[in-house]
Amino acid sequence: MRLPGLRALSVTTALAFGVSLSLVFFYAPIEAEEGFVQKIFYLHVPLAIVSLCGFVLGGLEAIAHLRTREAKWDLRSYVAIHMSLIFGLAVLITGSIWARASWGHWWVWDEPTLVSFLIVFLLYATYQPLRFAIEDPERQARYASVFAITAAAFVPLNFIAVRLSASYVHPRVLGGTSSLPSSMAFTFLVSLAATALLYATLCSYELAAKRTRILLKSRSRILGFQ
Amino acid sequence: MILAAATLPDGANDGYVAAAYIVFFVLVLVYVAIMAWRLTRVERSVRDLHAREREQEREERERV
């Protein structure tokens, strides 16, 4: 279970979050137009990036599963998507709070970034019902992998479509339209690293827990207790 | 402190920032609590398995 590695990862994550929060509230300047509300950006955007990358990671691990037929890749793909869904829920809630504070509405339907993220989230929300609707474990893993790959291909396509869309109301962080001052960009990158570390830590805990349960089940079966 | 003074709340809509960060930490906390509850269940299963294993060993010894 490599618990010492997990402990080190957890401590690093906690430290990174401490540094990130310190930078957000004591280093990054208050944005001229939005004011203090803009601090939500350092939480919301890294969560969205990590969540979308997690969905793509789940797809890549699903490819590895279909190529090798090793169960460990299916487990990793499942955990990556499961964790991305939790992060995605946080993105939707923090995004709604930010929208309410900045625009006066909890949700804006004509904003492509919001709606496209909701579509991706709802698409992945069907992953678990689909997965657990299939009883045979091998078929379950295979179908889940096919779904994960197809949906993962949709994520970058969706991202590009939003980028190409006409509306630029939503702030752009990465790419040519970025207009962040260096102190804000540095704080953003530290927040992004902390969020990615949190994702990695929670995935590692989830994987360790799932592996332990699988070991326990197989041990019970070997001893004839099941 | 001077640095902090320029980066802290300006009075308008501060509650939304607090709400966003609180929601995030509550979500993480709920997830950790669920993990802890699942861990307790796994620990109980390991204890049960261990006890049954010892019981089985004792029965085998008695049979011999």
Distance from CA of A193 to the nearest CA of B (A): 16
Chain A partners of B12 at a C-beta cutoff of 8 Å? 35-37
Q: pLDDT band at B1, cuts 50/70/90? A: very low
Two tokens, residue A46: 């890294």
Residue type, A22: S
pLDDT tens across B24-48, in order? Answer: 999 999 998 998 898 888 888 888 8
Task: Output the pLDDT for position A34.
Answer: 79
The distance of A127 to chain B (nearest Cα, Å) reads 19
Q: Give the pLDDT score at B48.
A: 86
Measured in residues, chain A has a length of 226
Contacts of B31 in chain A (CB under 8 A): 86, 202
Are the beta carbons of B35 and A29 separated by less than 8 Å?
Answer: no
Rounded to whole angstroms, what are the CA distances from A216 to A55, A124, A197, B10, B56? 29, 29, 28, 54, 17
User: SS3 for B58?
Assistant: helix
Q: How confident is the model at residue B60 (pLDDT cuts 50, 70, 90)?
A: confident
Strand partners, A31: A35
B21: which chain A residues are within 8 Å (Cβ-Cβ)? 40, 43
pLDDT of residue A212: 87
Q: Which residues of A76-109 are buried (b: 16+ CB within 10 A; e: fewer)?
A: bbbbbbbbbbbbbbbbbbbbbbbbbbbeeeeebe
Specify whether the CB–CB gap between B17 and A102 falls below 8 A.
no
Q: How far is B62 from chain A (nearest CA, A)?
A: 18
Q: Are A54 and A206 in contact (CB under 8 A)?
A: no
pLDDT in tens, chain A (226 residues): 456 688 899 999 999 999 999 999 998 888 877 788 889 999 999 999 999 999 999 999 999 999 999 999 999 999 999 999 999 999 999 999 999 988 888 998 888 888 889 999 999 999 999 999 998 889 999 999 999 999 999 898 888 887 777 555 555 555 544 577 888 999 999 999 999 999 999 999 999 888 888 888 888 887 776 6
How far apart are alpha carbons B63 and A180 in whole angstroms?
77
pLDDT of residue A176: 47
φ, ψ for residue B16, nearest 5 deg: -65, -40
pTM of the model: 0.85
Give the per-residue pLDDT at A226: 61
- Write the ipTM: 0.81
Does residue A88 contact residue A117 with C-beta atoms inside 8 Å?
yes
CA dist., res. A142 & res. A159, Å (int): 26
Q: What is the pLDDT of residue A172?
A: 59
